[in-house]
Amino acid sequence: MLTPRPEYPRPLLVRPDWRNLNGSWHFIEDFDDAGLAEGWFRNGLPQNATTIQVPFPVESAASTVNNIQPASVVWYLREFNLPKDWNKRVCLRFGACDHRARVFVNGQEVGQHRGGYTPFSFDIEHVLKPGANTIVVRVEDSLSWTQPRGKQAGTTRWPIDYDSVTGIWQTVWLEHLPPVSIESTHSVFEVGSGELTFTAFFSKQVEGELTVELLLAGVSVDRKKVNTGLRSEARVSFQLDEAVLWSPDSPTLYDIKLTLLDTRTLEVDEATSYTGLREIEVRDGCLLLNGERLFLRGILDQGYFPGGWYTALSDDDLRRDVELTLQMGFNCARKHQKAEDPRYLYWADQLGLLVWAEMPSGKIFSTELVQTLIAEWTELVKRDRAHPCVMVWVPFNESWGVWHQSTRPQQRAFVDGVVGVTRAMDNSRPVIGNDGWEFSSGDLWTLHLYVEQKNLTQRLNELIESPGSSVTEGNGMGSRAGALPGANVEGLPILLTECGGVGYGRFGDSDFSYGDLPKTEVELEEAIREIAQMIRAASTLQGFVWTQFTDVQQEVNGLLYFDRTPKLPIETLREIITGIG
């Protein structure tokens, strides 16, 4: 059987010496949570264990388990043979595993990780032996909303929630590394000065030299070397007087060759990366890309896939979603309540699609939520800040998990604090503290309006005149203020970041959409055109996000069915969408 998802999983930092561990693993659900006491990590899984296809979540058909209500504890096991020439550091990496993982190699625990969306890794060479080795992973998930879980159904299921995700859902792999390795990158470009600042981050502090070579179309543009100074990061700057910019219209990428020399051990780490030269900023009340005004034509994309659920069956499926988004006339995908596979961001970089990066929410404010969300969000910012396609950071959506921030100072402080931490890690993109309503801090004022579409322009004018007036929620939960007391939205770009939501297709008692349900394709087109005209008439807007890319389970408000079949001709959708703004 072919290895599923065989491509190298981390496109921003590629090395040749690696081994993919996707494919068939032994698997069992631990309904009684007996595995630790019975030593499954040491003795192996019970005889009644079955198999699962990694990296597909337990709930997906592609996993072959296909259980939408799995146990809260599940176990994985697989063996691998250590290559004979792997005589240095060996790193075991996981793209993502939902939610809490404990990892054992040859019966010894090598590490733990909490968070369903972030990558993690452990050095394992100290427990390896020649020949066959065994990896065991214990994963614990819950239905609690005190953990960030996006739109996965929890203790209560809203009309907009979906079946949950459990276990490993991104690629697992091994890498052969020197004692100190390059672990992530970040680049910032300023159009006015032509300066590119590139930063590399290391696995630990190192006394050595970092060499960064910048190439365009295979031709070396410049090469810089810097001493690392016993630090865990190093920065170089390039002066590019004839820079070729990245944009959706022209997604040009520069390749980067990285070499880290540890001068004490003479060990060398080499990797390849890339960057796009582009600048996103808010200036004089305008959202700008490369110094020019940007009108955002976005689509809300939940990031679920036929067969694989959270996980695309193939890299081609990720590319196809980016291509379909562009074909429909959108220049941005708002990845909603999911931190997407880095391979999606790679194709967005390559093909020229802006991406709205959002943190999956919890819904119950608690110490656990504060600790877990901050830890996971900062890891996601670190993972994705080198992607040129990522245009904005959104740590909170519609006050989920901070329902009482208007009256409880600690909840508002949580939102404002995460905004500050995000800016400290990356000040090269706008940050939106709380998307949809109850603005307290951030660089854009973003609003969600569904049920009042028939007087959209009037409602926007009222909110601009009185930001504290209410925005009616579209999920039957009442209304909330457009901005919180004391928050200043004056001069901020205004975007309508959820709208549309017209349902069409199969309808049943549990199906969900916003507003009236068209009965024919003709009525569907008329409804979409009517809303598009109202958005176009709202001259204060600097962009919109249409709900949504595809149907998902009971939500039937996609422009595409779940299998990616368009509900209207792609050409028709493109003509409507590109006619806005």
Percent share of the chain, pLDDT over 90: 90
What span, in angstroms and rounded, lies between the C-alpha atoms of 180 and 177? 8
Six-digit token pair at 516? 């009236």
Looking at the DSSP bridge assignments, the partners of residue 238 are 196
State pLDDT tens for residues 46-55. Answer: 999 999 999 9
What span, in angstroms and rounded, lies between the C-alpha atoms of 559 and 501? 9
State pLDDT tens for residues 265-308. Answer: 999 999 999 999 999 999 999 999 999 999 999 999 999 999 99
- Give me the pLDDT at residue 457, please: 80
Tell me what the mean pLDDT of segment 189-207 comes to: 97
State pLDDT tens for residues 356-388. Answer: 999 999 999 999 999 999 999 999 999 999 999
- 264 pLDDT band, cuts 50/70/90, is very high
Fold of 295-578: TIM Barrel (3.20.20)
Select from 223, 268, 264 the least CA-distant residue to 15.
268
Q: What is the CATH number of domain 18-177?
A: 2.60.120.260
**Domain range summary for the chain, segments of one domain joined by +:** 18-177, 182-280, 295-578
- 257 pLDDT band, cuts 50/70/90, is very high
The beta strands (E) that lie in 228-366 are given as: 231-239, 246-247, 250-251, 254-262, 268-275, 280-283, 286-289, 292-293, 296-301, 332-335, 354-358
**Helices (DSSP H) in 363-452: which residue ranges?**
367-384, 409-425
Q: Whole-number mean pLDDT of the chain?
A: 95
Give φ, ψ of 343 to 5 degrees. -65, -30
**Common-topology check for domains 182-280 and 295-578:** no
- 506 pLDDT band, cuts 50/70/90, is confident
Phi-psi sector, 5: left (phi>0), alpha (psi -120 to 50), beta: left
- Give me the pLDDT at residue 451, please: 65
* For residue 476, pLDDT beyond 60: no
**Cβ atoms of residues 91 and 10 within 8 Å:** no
CB-based contacts of 246, cutoff 8 Å, min separation 6: 252, 253, 276, 277, 278, 349, 352, 388
What span, in angstroms and rounded, lies between the C-alpha atoms of 374 and 393? 13
Fold of 182-280: Immunoglobulin-like (2.60.40)
* For residue 515, pLDDT beyond 90: no
State pLDDT tens for residues 71-125. Answer: 999 999 999 999 999 988 999 999 999 999 999 999 999 999 999 999 999 999 9
* For residue 473, pLDDT beyond 90: no
